[in-house]
Copies of this chain bind each other. A is one copy, B any other.
Amino acid sequence: MPDIESVVAEIAESLSRRTDRGKVATYIPELARVPIDQFGIAVFMADGKMFVAGDAETPFSIQSVSKAFTLTLALGKVGDRLWSRVGREPSGDPFNSIVQLEYEKGKPRNPFINAGAIAVTDTLLAGHAPKEALGEILDFVRFIADDDTISIDEHVARSEKQTGFLNTALANYMRAFKVLEHPVDHVLGVYFHHCSIAMTCRQLAMAGRYLAFSGRLPGQNVSVVSSERARRISALMLTCGHYDGSGDFAFRVGLPAKSGVGGAILAVAPGKASIAVWSPGLDQNGNSVLGSLALEQLAKAMRWSVFGD
C-alpha cells in the first residue's frame, strides 16, 4: 500500500501541469469569476489524520455537494416517506432537465438532480420559516465538519437567484403536481442559499466523515446517521452523484461521490477515507475535470475502489 501523504502530494503536483481543465460554470455570474488555475485536495483517514495539498484551504461554493447534506437531513426528518416524492434512479438527463418531470408527473428521478434537491429542500421547510430551515442546514454542516466558521456566500446566493430561471421553472412545475408543498420562492430561497455554502477542501473532507465511516464521526463517540443510511446515501452518490456522468465516474473511479458546479467533489472510500477535491473547470456534464482525474488517480494508487482491489 503506497503512502497516502506522498500520493496526495504527487497528484497535486502532476495536475498542476494540466492545461486541459474544462470550463468554469458561466450560468451563475459569481461562479464565472473564479480563476480556473486552482486545485485543492484533502483526505481524512480512518485514523483521524488529514492530508492536504494544493489550494486545500481556499473556500469555494459547494453548490450541489450540499445536496448530500440536505438529503441526510430530510431522511432524518421524514424517513422513507421522502421516496414518495423523489425517486432513486439515475436520470439519463442533464442536471437541469425538465423533460423527465413531465413524463413522470412532477416526481424527480433522484435527490441529486436539481429538481430532486429542490423537492428535498421543500421537506426541510415543514414547520419552519425559510430562515430557520436554512439555519438548520448550516448548523448541520458546521456540526459534521466540526467547524463553526463555515458560512454562506451571499453574493453567490443572490447571483443564483437572479439567474435561476430554470430552477424556478422546475420548482413551479413540481408545485403544479403538488410535489412541493411550500411557496416556490421560500423553497428556492433556501435552495439557492444552501448551494452557496462556502467551504474549503479541508472542511469538506471533515464534513464527509459520517458517510465514509458508517454514519459515525471517527474518534468521537457520535453517530450522525445509522450505518444503513450512510450506505444508502453512498449508493445514491454512486449511481446519481455526477448527473449524466455518474456511470462514467463509477467506471473510472469506483467511489461514491457528489459533485457540484463550483468544481468540488466529495468522495468516500467506505471505512477508509473521506476525500474532498476542488478545481473550478468543468466538463460538459458539469463535473470538475481535475477533480475527477485526481480521484481516479487516488483511488487507483490506494486501491480504494468499492468494486475490489
Q: What is the interface of chain A, defined by CB distance below 8 A to chain B?
A: 87-93, 97-103, 109-110, 165-166, 168-173, 175-176, 184, 212-214, 227, 230-232, 234-236, 238-240, 244-248, 250-252, 254, 256, 270-271, 305-309
How many protomers of this protein does the assembly include?
A: 4
Contact A98 B102 (CB under 8 A): yes
Q: Which of B89, B171, B254, B309 contacts A235 (CB 8 A)?
A: B254
Contacts A92-B92, A92-B100 given; does A308 touch B214 at CB 8 Å: yes
B110 touches A247 (CB 8 A): yes
Instruction: Chain B residues near A239: list those with CB within 8 A.
Output: 90, 238-239, 246-247, 250-251
Do the beta carbons of B227 and A308 come within 8 Å of each other?
Answer: yes
Q: Are B97 and A109 in contact (CB under 8 A)?
A: no
Q: Is the CB of A308 within 8 A of B173?
A: no
Q: Contacts A90-B247, A238-B250 given; 4 further ones with Cβ under 8 A?
A: A89-B248, A98-B98, A165-B172, A271-B308
In the docked arrangement, what's the CA distance between A270 and B244, Å? Answer: 26
* Set of chain B residues within 8 Å of A92, measured between Cβ atoms: 89-93, 100, 109
Query: Which of A92, A110, A256: most chain B Cβ within 10 A?
Result: A92
> Would you mind naming 27 contact pairs between A and B with Cβ atoms under 8 Å apart?
A88-B251, A89-B245, A90-B239, A90-B246, A90-B247, A92-B93, A92-B100, A166-B176, A168-B169, A169-B170, A169-B171, A169-B172, A212-B308, A213-B308, A230-B308, A231-B308, A232-B251, A234-B307, A234-B308, A235-B247, A238-B307, A239-B239, A239-B247, A270-B306, A271-B309, A306-B306, A306-B307
Which of these, B91, B110, B175, B235, contacts A307 with CB under 8 Å?
B235
Q: For the complex formed, measure the closest distance between the CB of A119 and the CB atoms of chain B, giving whole angstroms.
A: 14
8 closest Cβ pairs, A-B complex: A92-B92, A270-B308, A90-B90, A165-B176, A89-B247, A231-B307, A169-B172, A306-B306
Note all chain B residues with C-beta closer than 8 A to A251.
88, 232, 235-236, 239
With A99-B99, A173-B166 given, is the CB distance from A254 to B231 under 8 Å? Answer: yes
Q: Which residues of B contact A248 (CB under 8 A)?
A: 88-89
Q: List chain B residues, Cβ under 8 A from A230.
A: 307-308
Cα separation A100 to B102 with both chains bound (whole Å): 11
Considering the complex, give the chain B residue whose CB is closest to the CB of A248: B88
- In the complex, which residues of chain B have a beta carbon less than 8 angstroms from the beta carbon of A213? 308
Nearest B residue to A180, CB-CB: B165
